[in-house]
């Protein structure tokens, strides 16, 4: 088995989107993997648990013997056919297990016995994950970061799409970053969130980019936590403040968090199942702010929201939602934002309306010269 090939160029795996076959158990894959990986495990969760118990109680030799017994005969043949079928679709795929040890070596040898030679990743998942952590840490430390900030509803996420040097953290987290930011379909695991972000930074730094713009975020985007070193870099970064009137912001929230979001639920779940999920999502999001709003304000806002939902369910009109949105901005989001911005006013580098901010970022981008890609 030691003579079979190893893949050692970890950067190339991600830069070239080389397909990966993840041989770890399903529970390991669910905790975290890579966007270019497919789960085709050597052992099921239960089989892995049995082998692990045997290893602890009787040692490695007994565990290996049990593994071959559990994955033998027809089970082994079926799994080999699964790997071969995947390799027929992606003949350049690489194999990996957790550390690049027995599981990937075993599968590599079984495939070789079938006449198919594929490399396994040296160090396995652990080395790939370590490489991406190092990639993200070096980018956080070495790149120039700017933060786009502005009051809730300013349309910052829409602006990022027009900024060449932007990194969409909320896109990677599949969440809009506020109490109302949950999107249908759920969020990735934190490891998958970090991996996707690191791969984007790797590719863009490889192309010579070294300055990035992100939206102002707290450490948590939904339940995805930003890497601490990146968050700390953002907390020290210069700020660009977009200034948008409240009425325009309220309309943007109505479109993004009511009208467009309902369409997402409708497309994913259909009208009958989607409506109670959507209405429950809005109601629960407001309820999460009850402690900060106080009971009286929460009851008033909830009453306005339920009236708006009733009208929307009846006629499809979402205009009534503007009543609770305006009130929530006035009583909660705007005062909170102004307080927070005042505490970091010394970091403000530029402020203006949307067009002025976009022009500022375009000018900054034009001044940047590509740098040689890092070796990390």
Residues marked as catalytic: 97
Q: Are 317 and 262 spatial neighbours (Cβ–Cβ below 8 Å)?
A: no
- Whole-number Å distance between alpha carbons of 328 and 332: 5
User: Strand pairing partners for 38?
Assistant: 21
The strand ranges marked E within 77-234 are 94-96, 120-121, 144-150, 211-215, 220-221, 224-225
Backbone angles phi, psi at 163, to 5 degrees: -105, 120
Secondary structure tally for the chain: helices H, strands E: 18, 11
Q: Are 78 and 4 spatial neighbours (Cβ–Cβ below 8 Å)?
A: no
Sheet holding 20-22, edge to edge: 6-7, 120-121, 94-96, 20-22, 37-39
User: Shortest CA distance to 328 belongs to which of 160, 152, 185?
Assistant: 152
DSSP three-state, residue 259: helix
User: Strand pairing partners for 351?
Assistant: 241
Spatial CB neighbours of 180, under 8 Å, sequence gap ≥ 6: 257, 282, 285
* Integer angstrom CA distances of residue 109 from 116, 120, 188: 9, 10, 33
What six digits make up the tokens of 56? 């602890």
Spatial CB neighbours of 314, under 8 Å, sequence gap ≥ 6: none
User: Strand pairing partners for 150?
Assistant: 242
CA 39, distance to chain mean position in Å, is 19
- Whole-number Å distance between alpha carbons of 315 and 309: 10
- Whole-number Å distance between alpha carbons of 50 and 127: 26
């Amino acid at each position: 088995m030691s003579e079979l090939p190893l893949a050692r160029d970890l950067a190339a795996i991600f830069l070239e989107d080389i397909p990966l076959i993840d041989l770890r158990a399903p529970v390991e894959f669910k905790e975290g993997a890579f966007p270019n990986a497919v789960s085709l495990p050597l052992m099921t969760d239960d089989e892995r648990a049995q082998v692990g118990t045997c290893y602890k109680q009787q040692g490695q030799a007994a565990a290996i013997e049990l593994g071959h017994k559990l994955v033998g005969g027809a089970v082994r043949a079926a799994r080999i056919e699964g790997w071969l079928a995947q390799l027929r679709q992606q003949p350049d795929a690489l194999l990996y297990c957790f550390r690049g040890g027995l599981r990937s070596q075993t599968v590599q040898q079984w495939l070789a016995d079938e006449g198919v030679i594929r490399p396994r990743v040296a160090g396995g998942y652990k080395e790939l994950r370590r490489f991406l952590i190092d990639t993200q840490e070096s980018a956080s430390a070495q790149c120039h970061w700017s933060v786009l900030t502005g009051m809730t509803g300013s349309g910052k996420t829409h602006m990022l799409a027009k900024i060449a040097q932007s990194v969409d953290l909320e896109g990677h987290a599949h969440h809009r970053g506020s109490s109302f930011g949950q999107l249908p379909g759920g969020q990735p695991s934190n490891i998958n969130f970090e991996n996707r972000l690191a791969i984007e930074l790797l590719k863009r730094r490889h192309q010579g980019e070294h300055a990035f713009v992100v939206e102002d975020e707290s450490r948590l985007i939904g339940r995805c936590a930003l890497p601490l070193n990146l968050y700390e870099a953002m907390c020290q970064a210069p700020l660009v403040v977009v200034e948008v009137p409240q009425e325009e912001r309220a309309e943007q929230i109505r479109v993004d968090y009511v009208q467009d979001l309902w369409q997402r639920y409708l497309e994913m779940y259909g009208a009958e199942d989607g409506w109670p999920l959507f209405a429950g999502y809005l109601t629960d999001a407001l309820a999460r702010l009850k402690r900060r709003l106080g009971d009286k304000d929460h009851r008033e806002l909830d009453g306005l929201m339920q009236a708006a939902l009733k009208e929307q369910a009846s006629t499809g009109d979402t205009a009534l939602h503007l009543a609770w949105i305006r009130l929530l901005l006035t009583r909660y989001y705007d005062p909170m934002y102004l307080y927070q911005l005042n505490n970091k006013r010394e970091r403000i580098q530029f402020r203006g309306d949307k067009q002025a901010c976009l022009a500022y970022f375009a000018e900054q981008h034009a001044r940047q010269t590509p740098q040689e890609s890092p070796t990390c």
